[in-house]
């Protein structure tokens, strides 16, 4: 999967856990952050973290989306900044967890929150540092004008390109030479950024942003932290990451069916993916392979029927017969919940020419599911289109054709002599004709 967003909490935890090694002696960081989840017993928090009763607090959702300040989702004041108590935070979190919110046009629920001490500081102490990855270099951004308006102040941000093959001396020099003039203690700031960059590199971050970054003497306050790491580096940096989870971004809550497939996918060595796009649609797909699944979805859209596309998904990596059957049953269950007012539905069983996957074997799971759902499939009216190639495809195609015909399900099957997406065109034609007839 490669680059994955991590929670602000985890970013700061990783900083704290590796502080000794990267910032030893030069800088101090008093890591005080609590991650609140739906499983957290809020009443036990003061026992574990007595400081919540002793200091004003800040609370905010920790779910990978940004602009929380502008969305009004940073709770740091009732009447004036710094007057929020633990009791207030508790109430606020409970309330926010209960209500549905809309973020960037997506509706869903807030589940994870970060609670920290409120750090009073002057706006002029808000610095900005971010590091990202380019092609042959990493790019460090530094500014003396951090904070919520960083984008408006982007012209004051200094950009330093650090070749990924650069030596420590070269890195140091590049940073020192480019520290923005407005920063008060340039030497200290450069030293901090250098150390942060080393950590960024060693721990395989692909993005890291601290904004605002408050530095008071030797004390570092990363008031906000955004990070992405390269999850494939688990075997290199996993020990330094500690117990790190990669949450899905804030989004629509999964349907029970999507959740079921996701759980199956996590347990399986094979890949099983399902997203419901429009449960009322007429075009349903069962496609083998990641690339092919995109091509089938593309083609439905390119032929003008995207609003009828019911699902997106794929199965690959040699799923077992049982896994295939369960996957297909889940799709059948969704597509047979009701008749479509305009007539027939179509099912596209597609795939490219497999390299080594035994097509006959994978079709067995599909046939199992077809048998179980035959009555329902007949009842709502489904026409099946199959296209597949690869080892034993002739046997696979023959078996699925015979099974469908025996069950009284209309079916058309094609092999590699027919273009992969040709069945999409045929299926859409079928829909148009059935619609006309109805």
Sites of contact with another protein (CB under 8 A):
1-3, 106, 133, 135-136, 164-165, 201, 204, 206, 230, 232-233, 235-236, 249, 251-252, 275, 277, 289-295, 297-303, 306, 312, 316, 352-356, 389-391, 416-417, 419-422, 424-425
Query: Residue 404: in which H helix or E strand, if any?
Result: helix 393-406
**Shortest distance (Å) from residue 50 CB to another protein:** 40
Query: Toward another protein, which CB reaches closer, 164 or 216?
Result: 164
Query: Toward another protein, which CB reaches closer, 354 or 370?
Result: 354
Query: Toward another protein, which CB reaches closer, 302 or 405?
Result: 302
Asked if residue 250 lies in contact with residue 103, where contact means CB atoms within 8 angstroms, the answer is yes
Query: Toward another protein, which CB reaches closer, 298 or 435?
Result: 298
Query: Toward another protein, which CB reaches closer, 40 or 111?
Result: 111
Query: Toward another protein, which CB reaches closer, 117 or 390?
Result: 390
Q: How far apart are CA 405 and CA 395, in angstroms?
A: 15
Q: Say which residues have a Cβ less than 8 Å from residue 5's Cβ, sequence separation at least 6.
A: 64, 226, 227, 228, 246, 247, 249
∠ CA 11-15-20, rounded to 5° = 165
Distance of CA 74 to the CA centre of its chain: 22
**Shortest distance (Å) from residue 233 CB to another protein:** 4
**Shortest distance (Å) from residue 300 CB to another protein:** 8
**Shortest distance (Å) from residue 244 CB to another protein:** 15
**Shortest distance (Å) from residue 345 CB to another protein:** 19
> Alpha-carbon Rg of the chain, whole angstroms?
27
Asked if residue 315 lies in contact with residue 350, where contact means CB atoms within 8 angstroms, the answer is no
**Shortest distance (Å) from residue 160 CB to another protein:** 17
DSSP string for 138-159? EEEEEES--STTTTTTGGG-EE
Q: Is 358 exposed, middle or buried (0-12, 13-18, 19+ CB in 10 A)?
A: middle
∠ CA 186-139-230, rounded to 5° = 120
Query: Toward another protein, which CB reaches closer, 165 or 167?
Result: 165
Helices 321-335 & 256-267 angle (0-180, nearest 10): 170
Strands (E), 144-269: 158-163, 205-216, 219-222, 225-230
Query: Toward another protein, which CB reaches closer, 32 or 425?
Result: 425
Asked if residue 250 lies in contact with residue 64, where contact means CB atoms within 8 angstroms, the answer is yes
**Shortest distance (Å) from residue 305 CB to another protein:** 11
Query: Toward another protein, which CB reaches closer, 178 or 275?
Result: 275
Strand partners, 103: 106
**Shortest distance (Å) from residue 426 CB to another protein:** 11
User: CA-CA distances (angstroms) from residue 164 to 61, 132, 161, 198, 230?
Assistant: 34, 11, 9, 11, 15
**Shortest distance (Å) from residue 97 CB to another protein:** 22
């Amino acid at each position: 999967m490669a680059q994955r967003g991590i929670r602000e909490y985890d970013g700061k935890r990783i900083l704290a856990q590796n502080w000794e090694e990267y910032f030893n002696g030069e800088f101090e960081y008093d890591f005080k952050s609590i991650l609140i989840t739906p499983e957290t017993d809020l009443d036990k928090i003061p026992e574990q973290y007595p400081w919540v009763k002793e200091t004003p607090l800040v609370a905010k959702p920790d779910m990978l989306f940004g602009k929380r300040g502008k969305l009004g989702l940073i709770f740091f004041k009732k009447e004036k900044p710094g007057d929020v108590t633990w009791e207030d935070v508790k109430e606020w979190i409970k309330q926010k967890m209960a209500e549905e919110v809309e973020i960037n046009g997506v509706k869903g629920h807030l589940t994870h929150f970060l609670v920290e001490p409120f750090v009073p500081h002057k706006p002029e102490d808000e610095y900005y540092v971010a590091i990202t990855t380019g092609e042959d270099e990493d790019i460090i951004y530094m500014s003396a004008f951090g904070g919520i308006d960083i984008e408006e102040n982007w012209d004051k941000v200094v950009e330093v390109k650090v070749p990924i093959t650069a030596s420590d001396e070269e890195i140091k020099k590049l940073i020192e030479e480019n520290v923005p003039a407005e920063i008060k203690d340039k030497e200290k700031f450069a030293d901090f950024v250098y150390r942060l960059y080393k950590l960024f590199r060693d721990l395989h971050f692909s993005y890291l942003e601290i904004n605002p970054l408050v530095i008071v003497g030797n004390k570092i306050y990363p008031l906000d932290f955004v990070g992405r790491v390269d999850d494939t580096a688990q075997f290199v940096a996993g020990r330094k990451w500690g117990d790190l989870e990669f949450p899905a971004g804030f989004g629509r809550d999964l349907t029970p069916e999507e959740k079921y497939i996701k759980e199956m996918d996590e347990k399986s060595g094979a890949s099983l993916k399902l997203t419901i796009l429009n449960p009322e649609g007429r075009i349903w797909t069962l496609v083998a392979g990641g690339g092919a699944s995109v091509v089938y979805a593309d083609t439905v859209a390119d032929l003008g029927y995207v609003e009828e596309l019911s699902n997106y998904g794929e199965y690959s990596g040699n799923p077992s017969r049982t896994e295939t059957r369960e996957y297909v049953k889940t799709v059948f269950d969704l597509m047979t919940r009701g008749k479509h007012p305009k007539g027939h539905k179509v099912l596209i069983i597609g795939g490219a020419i497999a390299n080594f996957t035994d097509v006959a074997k994978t079709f067995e799971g599909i046939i199992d599911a077809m048998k179980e759902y035959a009555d329902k499939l007949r009842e709502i009216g489904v026409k099946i289109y199959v296209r597949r190639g690869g080892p034993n495809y002739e046997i696979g195609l023959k078996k699925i054709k015979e099974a469908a015909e025996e069950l009284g399900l209309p079916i058309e099957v094609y092999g590699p002599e027919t273009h992969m997406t040709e069945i999409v065109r045929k299926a859409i034609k079928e829909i148009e004709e059935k619609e006309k007839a109805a």
